[in-house]
């Protein structure tokens, strides 16, 4: 198997596995930049995966090939709705943000499995008929070599995800809204003094994070698992959180880290069929993202500084 | 209203709110809540077998709850109980399978200690990183959970067995199984582990409340800087706290490995006991005796839930929803406290 052949298998797969992580990590960036820890990303992805699959199964005939995209919108709304709960608990009720996030995770998996059994009478859904199928990106796939590797026999969501990361970077670092969001996460009292509504900004940050994580879950369910069960989302949310930290809370950094984790994940799955990697036990590739995150946090791979006010509720008038 | 009473009222109100929301969910999804809750009740107390199973489930919950509560009392947040539990489970089974010539009086303690040590090691790493590099333990422990999951799976598949999904049964000499309890509870899987769990409850209470070391650990949890100025070894105490917390969690794994199942198997996902341990600790107010009550509640809910699909046709995940909601409400204790104060003030006027 030639090098180019390996790349034509590996790169589309990497992009595919990375795209849910990118969306979710970008969501995490909104929440954490506003100063609210979001361990609940996993649960928000679960809701997204569940709602997109249910919608897809129910409306595949109505919407045809557009079904997965419409389902993503549903996943987005559902993710945002669940995130409201996290926002209310951790911002208004001053709950410990980590505990609230853990509760979101438990709630999401319990609620979705409850509903799956209620709706379908069994522990998992059927396989969807309209998923994100493989496509050749028009025009770009005609580019020699690169066209074959990147743009042939691939999927749409990764390209959308990369485009969205650039947009998020622009919003977060080049617009007044982004500046306000970040200031609330760094020094809420100063922001408050300048007339920024800390509570409102944090609510927005957390709700956007839910919307993005919902999309991430929807992308995962409709392009990788194709059905929904208790094991559909197993750690992707935490991996997205890892990507966010590894990318130093920067949208483009998070995207890069997510791409790398996507690479590690796809290697662990298709690695056995690639000559170069067949001798590496898959466990090393499976744990790579987590080990790397710990190393990154420890400072071996450059210091990563969290937003200053991350994890602390803002209480007006407290110094 | 006194602070102490409020602290007890918050968990009670949270549980009530959880049950109320559970009722609403059942009504909305077209189930009969009375049938649901009576099935749940029957599933906990209906037969002596269920009672035995409940206590069996309570055993790891107590230890997982202690693990979270112990770290919490010393200012740390151990979300890694799940991972520490898994490595403890594997270590116990490993010792249980590997030696078969040892007498029970050596073999069983050895397997239990192996589990505690494995869990302690899994807690030591985040503790060390926190003490040495100021890395937040929450993220590290989450990552350690996944590392534990994948590494133990790989060890079971490639080291302990030849590409099988689960290990052999542990030797009889390492087992916590109890024919006496089994006969007493109509052949439930209740085992001796409950005494280990209760011993640990005592150890945690004694260590934290009655020893100098415990005072230091709590002091570091309250205020690192003050402790530092008072001449305490802050970093050492952080590491020690995570090690002890991890050891409790590892023992919870031993309960599953040596008591309930007698083997370790490949896991597609987490057991959930570690995460429920967070709920148990929170509901128990992070004190040893509170953890016992909270573990009884959650163990009962989990075991009783298994009866809900059979008797009332309600998916047992309903109980997971209720548990998650209880965590929400306990965590949002600020709001409940505020409301209690409002009401009690009105009462005075």
pLDDT in tens, B223-235: 888 998 988 999 9
3-state helix, strand, coil in chain A (%, to 5): 75, 0, 25
The pair phi, psi for residue B338, each rounded to 5°, is -60, -45
Q: What letter does residue B191 receive in the DSSP assignment? A: B
> For residues B147 and A242, what is the distance between their CA atoms, to the nearest angstrom?
13
Query: Whole-prediction pTM value?
Result: 0.90
Taking an 8 Å cut-off on Cβ atoms, the answer to whether A103 and B327 are in contact is: yes
Q: Which stretches of chain B sit within 8 Å of chain A by CB?
A: 25, 29, 77, 79, 129, 133, 135-136, 138-140, 142-144, 146-147, 150-151, 153-154, 158, 268-269, 275, 278-279, 282, 315, 317-321, 323-325, 327-328, 330-335
Query: CB neighbours of A115 closer than 8 A, spacing ≥ 6?
Result: A50, A54, B29
What tens digit of pLDDT does each residue of B106-148 get?
999 999 999 999 999 999 999 999 999 888 888 899 899 999 9
* Contact assessment for residue A216 and residue A24, using Cβ atoms and an 8 Å cutoff: yes
Q: Write out chain A residues lying below 8 Å of B310, CB-based.
A: none
B166 - beta bridge partners? B265
Quick one: which H or E segment has residue B322?
Answer: helix B317-331
> For residues A80 and A36, what is the distance between their CA atoms, to the nearest angstrom?
15
> For residues A161 and B249, what is the distance between their CA atoms, to the nearest angstrom?
39
Q: In terms of CA atoms, which chain B residue is nearest residue A294?
A: B140
Taking an 8 Å cut-off on Cβ atoms, the answer to whether A110 and B144 are in contact is: no
N residues, chain B: 349
> For residues B283 and B327, what is the distance between their CA atoms, to the nearest angstrom?
8
pLDDT score for A296 = 80
CB-neighbour burial class of residue B334 (10 A; exposed 0-12, middle 13-18, buried 19+): middle
Query: Higher confidence at residue A98 or residue B202?
Result: B202
Nearest CA-CA distance, residue B76 and chain A, Å: 12
Taking an 8 Å cut-off on Cβ atoms, the answer to whether A39 and B138 are in contact is: yes
CB-neighbour burial class of residue A246 (10 A; exposed 0-12, middle 13-18, buried 19+): buried
* Contact assessment for residue A250 and residue A115, using Cβ atoms and an 8 Å cutoff: no
* Contact assessment for residue B331 and residue A103, using Cβ atoms and an 8 Å cutoff: yes
Among B315, B322, B335, which would you mutate to test the A interface (most chain A Cβ atoms within 10 Å of its Cβ)? B315
- CA distances for B64 relative to A194, B57, B80, B262, B292, angstroms: 45, 11, 10, 19, 11
Taking an 8 Å cut-off on Cβ atoms, the answer to whether A293 and B79 are in contact is: no
Taking an 8 Å cut-off on Cβ atoms, the answer to whether B154 and A281 are in contact is: yes
Taking an 8 Å cut-off on Cβ atoms, the answer to whether A231 and B327 are in contact is: no
ipTM computed for the complex: 0.87
Taking an 8 Å cut-off on Cβ atoms, the answer to whether A298 and B135 are in contact is: yes
Pick from B60, B331, B345, B95: which is nearest to A94 by CA?
B331
Q: Write out chain B residues lying below 8 Å of A299, CB-based.
A: 133
- Walk along chain A (319 residues) in steps of 10 and give the mean pLDDT of each run: 76 90 96 93 96 94 89 96 94 89 92 93 87 76 74 83 96 95 92 92 96 96 91 88 88 93 82 70 84 82 74 78
pLDDT score for B128 = 95
- CA distances for A40 relative to A31, A289, B76, B118, angstroms: 11, 19, 19, 28
Taking an 8 Å cut-off on Cβ atoms, the answer to whether A290 and B147 are in contact is: yes
> For residues A228 and A152, what is the distance between their CA atoms, to the nearest angstrom?
28
- Which of A96, A105, A107 has its CB closest to that of B321? A107
At residue B282 the predicted structure's pLDDT band, cuts being 50, 70 and 90, is confident
Q: In terms of CA atoms, which chain B residue is nearest residue A244?
A: B139
> For residues A204 and B83, what is the distance between their CA atoms, to the nearest angstrom?
33
Pick from A130, A163, A152, A156: which is nearest to A26 by CA?
A163
Taking an 8 Å cut-off on Cβ atoms, the answer to whether A287 and B151 are in contact is: yes
pLDDT score for B349 = 43
CB-neighbour burial class of residue A231 (10 A; exposed 0-12, middle 13-18, buried 19+): exposed
What tens digit of pLDDT does each residue of B15-66 get?
999 999 999 999 999 999 999 999 999 999 988 999 999 999 999 999 999 9
Pick from A16, A34, A28: which is nearest to A239 by CA?
A28
Q: How many CB atoms are located within 10 Å of the residue A127 CB?
A: 11
Q: Write out chain B residues lying below 8 Å of A117, CB-based.
A: 315, 317
Query: CB neighbours of B231 closer than 8 A, spacing ≥ 6?
Result: none
Q: Which residue reads 């007890």 in tokens?
A: B8
Q: In terms of CA atoms, which chain B residue is nearest residue A296?
A: B135
CB-neighbour burial class of residue A298 (10 A; exposed 0-12, middle 13-18, buried 19+): middle
Taking an 8 Å cut-off on Cβ atoms, the answer to whether B143 and A291 are in contact is: yes
């Amino acid at each position: 198997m030639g090098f180019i052949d390996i790349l034509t298998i590996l790169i589309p797969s990497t992009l595919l596995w990375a795209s849910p992580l990118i969306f979710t990590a970008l969501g995490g960036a909104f929440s954490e930049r506003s100063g609210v820890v979001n361990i609940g990303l996993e649960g928000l992805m679960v809701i997204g995966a569940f709602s997109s699959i249910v919608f897809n199964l129910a409306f595949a005939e109505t919407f045809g090939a557009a079904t997965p995209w419409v389902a993503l919108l549903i996943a987005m709304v559902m993710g945002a709705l669940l995130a409201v709960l996290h926002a209310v608990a951790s911002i208004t009720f001053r709950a410990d943000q980590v505990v609230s996030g853990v509760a979101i995770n438990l709630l999401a998996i319990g609620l979705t499995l409850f509903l799956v059994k209620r709706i379908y009478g069994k522990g998992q859904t059927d396989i969807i008929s309209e998923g994100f199928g493989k496509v050749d990106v028009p025009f770009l796939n005609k580019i020699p070599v690169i066209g074959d590797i990147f743009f042939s026999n691939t999927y749409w969501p990764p390209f959308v995800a990369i485009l969205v990361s650039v947009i998020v970077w622009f919003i977060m670092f080049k617009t007044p809204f982004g500046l306000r969001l970040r200031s609330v996460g760094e020094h809420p009292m100063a922001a408050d003094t300048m007339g920024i509504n800390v509570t409102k900004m944090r609510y927005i940050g957390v709700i956007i994070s839910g919307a993005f994580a919902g999309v991430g879950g929807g992308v995962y369910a409709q392009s990788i698992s194709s059905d929904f069960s208790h094991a559909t989302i197993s750690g992707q949310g935490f991996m997205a959180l890892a990507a966010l930290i590894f990318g130093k809370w920067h949208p483009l950094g998070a995207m890069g880290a997510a791409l790398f984790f996507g690479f590690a994940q796809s290697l662990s799955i298709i690695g056995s069929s690639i000559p170069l990697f067949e001798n590496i036990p898959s466990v090393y590739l499976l744990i790579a993202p987590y080990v790397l995150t710990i190393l990154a946090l420890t400072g071996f791979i450059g210091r990563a500084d969290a937003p200053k006010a991350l994890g602390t509720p803002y209480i007006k008038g407290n110094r | 209203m006194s602070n102490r009473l409020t602290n007890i009222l918050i968990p009670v109100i949270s549980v009530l709110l959880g049950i109320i929301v559970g009722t609403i969910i059942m009504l909305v999804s077209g189930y009969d809540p009375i049938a649901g809750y009576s099935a749940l009740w029957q599933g906990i107390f209906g037969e002596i077998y269920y009672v035995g199973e409940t206590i069996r489930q309570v055993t790891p919950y107590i230890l997982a709850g202690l693990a979270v509560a112990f770290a919490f009392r010393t200012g740390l947040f151990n979300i890694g109980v799940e991972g520490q539990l898994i490595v403890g489970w594997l270590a116990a089974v490993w010792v249980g399978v590997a030696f078969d010539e040892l007498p029970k009086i050596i073999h069983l303690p050895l397997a239990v200690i192996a589990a505690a040590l494995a869990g302690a090691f899994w807690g030591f790493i985040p503790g060390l990183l926190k003490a040495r590099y100021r890395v937040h333990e929450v993220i590290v422990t989450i990552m350690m959970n996944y590392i534990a999951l994948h590494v133990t799976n790989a060890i079971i598949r490639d080291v302990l067995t030849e590409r099988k999904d689960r290990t052999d049964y542990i030797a009889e000499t390492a087992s916590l199984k109890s024919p006496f309890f089994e006969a007493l509870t109509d052949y439930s899987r209740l085992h001796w582990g409950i005494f280990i769990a209760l011993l640990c409850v005592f150890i945690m209470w004694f260590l934290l409340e009655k020893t100098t070391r415990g005072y230091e650990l709590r002091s570091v949890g309250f205020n690192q800087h003050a402790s530092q100025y008072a001449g305490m070894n802050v970093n050492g105490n952080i590491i020690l706290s995570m090690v002890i917390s991890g050891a409790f969690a590892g023992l919870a794994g031993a309960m599953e490995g040596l008591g309930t199942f007698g083997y370790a198997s490949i896991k597609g996902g987490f057991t959930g006991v570690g995460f429920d341990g967070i709920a148990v600790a929170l509901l128990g107010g992070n004190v040893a005796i509170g953890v016992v009550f909270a573990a009884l509640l959650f163990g009962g809910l989990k075991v009783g839930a298994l009866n809900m699909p059979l008797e009332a046709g309600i998916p047992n995940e309903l109980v997971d929803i209720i548990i998650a909601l209880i965590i929400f409400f306990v965590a949002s204790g600020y709001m409940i406290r505020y409301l209690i104060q409002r009401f009690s003030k009105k009462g005075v006027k």
